[in-house]
Amino acid sequence: MAFVQMVDKNLPPSRYQAVKFGMWIAMVSITMMFGAFTSAYLVRKPVGNWYEFKLPVEFFYSTLILIASSFLMEWAYRSYKQQEEKSYKVGIFLTLLLGIGFIIAQVIAWKALVAQGITIDLNVSGSFLYVLSGFHALHVLGGIGALFVSNFVAFGDRYELTMLRTLRLDLVRQYWHFVDILWIYLLVF
Amino acid sequence: MSSHNTSTKEQDYLIESQGYDDHFHEHHHGDKYQMNFLTTYIFSQDHKMIARQFLITGIFWAFIGALMSLVFRIQLGFPDADLSWLKPFLGKWIVVNEAGIGKLEPEFYYALVTMHGTIIVFFVLTAGLSGTFSNLLIPLQIGARDMASPFLNMLSYWFFFLSGAVMFYSLFLSTGPFSGGWVAYPPLSALPQASNGSGNGMTLWLVSLTLFVVSVLLGGINYITTVLNLRTKGMTMWRMPLTVWAFLVTAILALLSFPVLASGFFLLIFDRSLGTSFYLSDIFVNGQILDRIGGSPILYQHLFWFLGHPEVYIIILPAMGLVSEVMSVHARKPIFGYRAMVYSIMAIGFLSFIVWAHHMFMSGVNPFLSNFFVVFTLIIAVPSAVKVFNWIGTLYGGNIRMNTQMLFCIGFVSMFISGGLTGIFLGNSAIDIQQHDTYFVVAHFHIVMGVAAFFGMFAGIYNWFPKMFGRYMNDTMGKIHFWITMIGAYAVFGPMHYLGMAGVPRRYYRFDTFDAFKGFDDMNKFITIAAAITFLAQLVFIINFFYSMYKGKKVTTPNPWKSNSLEWTTPIEPGHGNWPGKIPTVHRWAYDYGKDDREFIQQHIPLRDGEQHSSH
């Protein structure tokens, strides 16, 4: 979000690179945070007192939704660069919809978990699941915020291909792929 | 200035003719960053203003943190003294008994120790040190107009400010601030019922430090991006001053380790408020068994120290960078072993991630695992020793200017050696069985990362004050400040080594009730008096700082120290964008001192015909 706002109106190429680079570094630091969670998980699991349970199937549906939205995002970005206005708008709108769909699917999945009796304070294994998926959902919400802005720009402003808008869309795209891959990593866990 | 050195006019000409034109002022009618009071002084996006904000906030916190240490030192040195005179300041934390003797509440003693650690480690030596100088020096020394993202940079300061405001508020809670030690180990930190400070005090502590992590990350992203992407033409990595190298590695460490701390905090927050048991197992509070089972308090320690150890290098590396630069300038010699310095910064940075468990030798980790951490801990002594050797090598045969900043550099090296050597004791897991949690540890880390980092910071402040405020600090007052601080710091922490070897544990409220420790009364009194005198010397610094800001001797030349790096090619009071016209192009490294009979050659001055690059 902040990256989208901060870009100056007049954008020299060095800044273009710098801003993209800053985004990668931000991703590295988010990765470290989730790395810490998953290492804690790995350290804790073999100690015992660990309830095994089956993941609710909703988590797999949400995964499909997120992967699909990632493809749509890529499509929207390429369409934008190739000046295909219509598919760009459709793509960016559908990405946003699927992003929101992912969050809804996650909420349903959490409800299914609670229905199974696995609440956050039952056992550490369940706690970890909520923490991992919950923090991931927060990061997706950040991405959805950025997608909202992208949609406002796509539908509110007149279409034109500029460096600045390419950069902004590129940042949203990269972040979106990032949370997608992050989720797959967490799911595999 | 001697005829070898370029005059100001020539310099401007050089920058205009050789510099890199980024069309800085073309669309520029008045500066949108400095339009009114609010955008200039409060919500500034200019890196130099943000640096000053970090510095002054840091000084404020240092003052608070030092005051706290004085209060608990009085308690330790004079446990029977009447403290009712502190009642106007501390209110209900001083309890006056029937005989009219005022006593410090033991609960509050712990809170003071905890807050002293938290404030000095995070607010002063992380934000106040690297926040100040990374912001000030990175853009100026690499030839950039500003940070990659001035907006995030502003946010970084304001998150820090907010974090400080929350912590400050927690000092005035009726249950007091958090009191379970600055490391906030569970279960004390995880159970609100565990102690007074573990309630709202701990909640605010967590909120404050989470905001702080955000601030550090925003800053770190900016520093790394700026150094790697916005260097001016000709400024290769190997031409950067060591300060910039140190800030770069510091920012990388912060970026990799602070998120892990955040993870640890989040799990702790869940344990506190959602009933999870990440860190809790088999606990009795007030005779009641809790139903929390299955957690491990060691897990928190792992997550905490995975940050905690890189954190000490986040504190000391910027100080090392500042000292290297200041030392080279004021010894009028190239820094000895520039590349070795860079490689040892990198080595220290890398090793800092694989030594964290040396903080946990006594917490029940596998002793075989400990061996691994012992080895890497001791290996850190190698790059550290390389740096010490190079500093001494830089001084050797130099034409040394014994001004305040140089004294602080030498003091830094002295402190770093003394504190580093005791680190080798503590790094051994066997010796640690005796030494852990004693005053030996307290003395070790105060000297090596407390006092040493402060000395680096002071060297930086005295040296770059002219750049920050266009005036000099008073050198005589500076020297008084240095000598009292130097002697005082050894007087405070030297005897603590002795206490520690005798097994005196840290964090105790008083020692005269223990047979084993009551023989040290006089030593504790001595330490307290030394601490009070050292504190008074810091007041000299604060008076000097604020006096010089308004009334100090004005700087009349852009390059008062005859230094090579780019920040001294800007006007005396640089505006937004740092250079009024073009950005200078760099032709050489930052340490061409005493080359070919020229006293110093600034980085933007081209090679003469037939002149070779200095080999480094």
pLDDT value of residue B2? 40
Comparing B77-91, B235-249, B321-335, B370-384, which segment has the lowest mean pLDDT?
B77-91
| CA proximity to B459, closest of B234, B237, B133 | B133
Alpha-carbon distance of A162 to A184, in angstroms, equals: 33
Distances from the Cα of B202 to the Cα of A171, B178, B193, angstroms: 37, 5, 11
Q: Which residues of B touch A127 (CB under 8 A)?
A: 270, 276-278
Alpha-carbon distance of B570 to B553, in angstroms, equals: 19
Q: What is the ipTM of this complex?
A: 0.86
In A, minimum Cα distance to B262 occurs at A33
Q: What is the pLDDT along chain A (189 residues), one digit of tens a residue?
A: 334 434 444 566 677 788 888 899 999 999 999 999 998 888 888 877 788 788 888 888 999 999 999 999 999 999 988 888 888 899 999 999 999 999 999 999 999 999 888 888 888 888 889 999 999 999 999 999 999 999 988 888 888 878 888 888 888 889 999 988 888 888 887
Percent of chain B past pLDDT 90, that is, above it, reads 67
Cβ within 8 Å of A, B 272-291: 274-278
What's chain A's Rg over C-alpha atoms? 19
Distances from the Cα of B95 to the Cα of B85, B90, B105, B172, angstroms: 11, 10, 7, 17
In A, minimum Cα distance to B276 occurs at A121
> Residues B146, B46: contact at Cβ < 8 Å?
yes
Q: Is the pLDDT of residue B436 over 60?
A: yes
Q: Is the pLDDT of residue B615 over 80?
A: no
The first and second tokens of residue B328, run together, are 């080279």
The separation between CA B21 and the C-alpha centre of its own chain, rounded to angstroms, equals 36
Cβ of A52 under 8 Å from any chain B Cβ? no
Give tens-digit pLDDT for B266-284.
999 999 888 888 888 878 8
Secondary structure (3-state) at B103:
strand
Q: How near does any CA of chain B get to the CA of A84, in Å?
A: 31
B263:A49 CB<8 A: no
Cβ of B404 under 8 Å from any chain A Cβ? no
Mean pLDDT of B534-542: 96
Cβ within 8 Å of B, A 4-23: 5-6, 10, 12, 14-15, 17-19, 21-22
- Please name the residue that has the structure tokens 């502590």: B205
Cβ of A47 under 8 Å from any chain B Cβ? yes
In A, minimum Cα distance to B154 occurs at A6
Question: CB under 8 Å to B352, separation ≥6 — which residues?
Answer: B253, B309, B310, B312, B313, B380
Q: Which residues of A touch B259 (CB under 8 A)?
A: 29-30, 32-33, 36
| CA proximity to A143, closest of A184, A100, A104 | A100
Q: Is the pLDDT of residue B159 over 70?
A: yes
User: Between residues B55 and B608, which one has the greater pLDDT?
Assistant: B55
Secondary structure (3-state) at B94:
strand
pLDDT value of residue A12? 65
pLDDT value of residue B610? 83
Alpha-carbon distance of B524 to B522, in angstroms, equals: 5
B220:A124 CB<8 A: no
B149:A19 CB<8 A: yes
> Residues B332, B600: contact at Cβ < 8 Å?
yes
> Residues A55, A92: contact at Cβ < 8 Å?
no
pLDDT value of residue B98? 85
| Beta strands B593-595 and B598-600, pairing class | antiparallel
The separation between CA B235 and the C-alpha centre of its own chain, rounded to angstroms, equals 27
Q: Which residues of B touch A121 (CB under 8 A)?
A: 274-277
A131 → closest Cβ in B149, B267, B299: B267
Question: CB under 8 Å to A6, separation ≥6 — which residues?
Answer: A19, B149, B150, B151, B152
Comparing B161-170, B172-181, B274-283, B584-593, which segment has the lowest mean pLDDT?
B274-283
The first and second tokens of residue B405, run together, are 């900043």
Mutation choice for B interface testing from A14, A29, A45 by most B CBs within 10 A: A29
A36:B306 CB<8 A: yes
> Residues A57, A174: contact at Cβ < 8 Å?
no
The separation between CA B418 and the C-alpha centre of its own chain, rounded to angstroms, equals 18
pLDDT value of residue A8? 45
pLDDT category of residue B8 using cuts at 50, 70 and 90: low
Environment class of B107 (CB within 10 Å of its CB; exposed 0-12, middle 13-18, buried 19+):
middle
B296 → closest Cβ in A18, A47, A123: A47
In B, minimum Cα distance to A119 occurs at B276
Alpha-carbon distance of B529 to B78, in angstroms, equals: 10
Cβ within 8 Å of A, B 252-271: 255-260, 262-264, 266-267, 270
Q: Is the pLDDT of residue B603 over 70?
A: yes
Alpha-carbon distance of B111 to B146, in angstroms, equals: 40
Mean pLDDT of B343-360: 93
Q: Which residues of B touch A122 (CB under 8 A)?
A: none
Comparing B19-23, B39-43, B80-84, B597-601, which segment has the lowest mean pLDDT?
B19-23
pLDDT value of residue A3? 40
Q: Is the pLDDT of residue B181 over 80?
A: yes
Cβ of B40 under 8 Å from any chain A Cβ? no
Alpha-carbon distance of A102 to A138, in angstroms, equals: 12
pLDDT value of residue A5? 39
Environment class of B317 (CB within 10 Å of its CB; exposed 0-12, middle 13-18, buried 19+):
buried
Alpha-carbon distance of B581 to B25, in angstroms, equals: 7
- Please name the residue that has the structure tokens 């073009």: B582
Cβ of A115 under 8 Å from any chain B Cβ? no
Q: How near does any CA of chain A get to the CA of B202, in Å?
A: 21
Q: Is the pLDDT of residue B7 over 70?
A: no
pLDDT value of residue B176? 87
Provide the β-strand partners of residue B438.
B505
Alpha-carbon distance of B455 to B51, in angstroms, equals: 18
pLDDT value of residue B289? 78
pLDDT value of residue B33? 52
Domains detected in chain A: 12-40+56-188 (1.20.120.80)
> Residues B320, B456: contact at Cβ < 8 Å?
yes
The first and second tokens of residue A10, run together, are 């007049």
Q: Which residues of B touch A25 (CB under 8 A)?
A: 220-221, 224-225, 255
A26:B152 CB<8 A: no
Secondary structure (3-state) at B98:
coil
Domains detected in chain B: 33-600 (1.20.210.10)
Mean pLDDT of B382-404: 95
| CA proximity to B140, closest of B563, B456, B455, B537 | B563
Q: Is the pLDDT of residue B62 over 80?
A: yes
Cβ of B118 under 8 Å from any chain A Cβ? no
Provide the residue type at B123 as one letter. Answer: F
Give tens-digit pLDDT for B186-226.
888 888 888 888 889 999 999 999 999 999 999 999 999 99
In B, minimum Cα distance to A37 occurs at B263
In A, minimum Cα distance to B45 occurs at A6
Model confidence, pTM: 0.91
Q: How near does any CA of chain A get to the CA of B559, in Å?
A: 29
A14:B262 CB<8 A: no
Give tens-digit pLDDT for A70-102.
999 999 999 988 888 888 899 999 999 999 999
In B, minimum Cα distance to A5 occurs at B151
Give tens-digit pLDDT for B85-107.
888 888 888 888 888 888 899 98
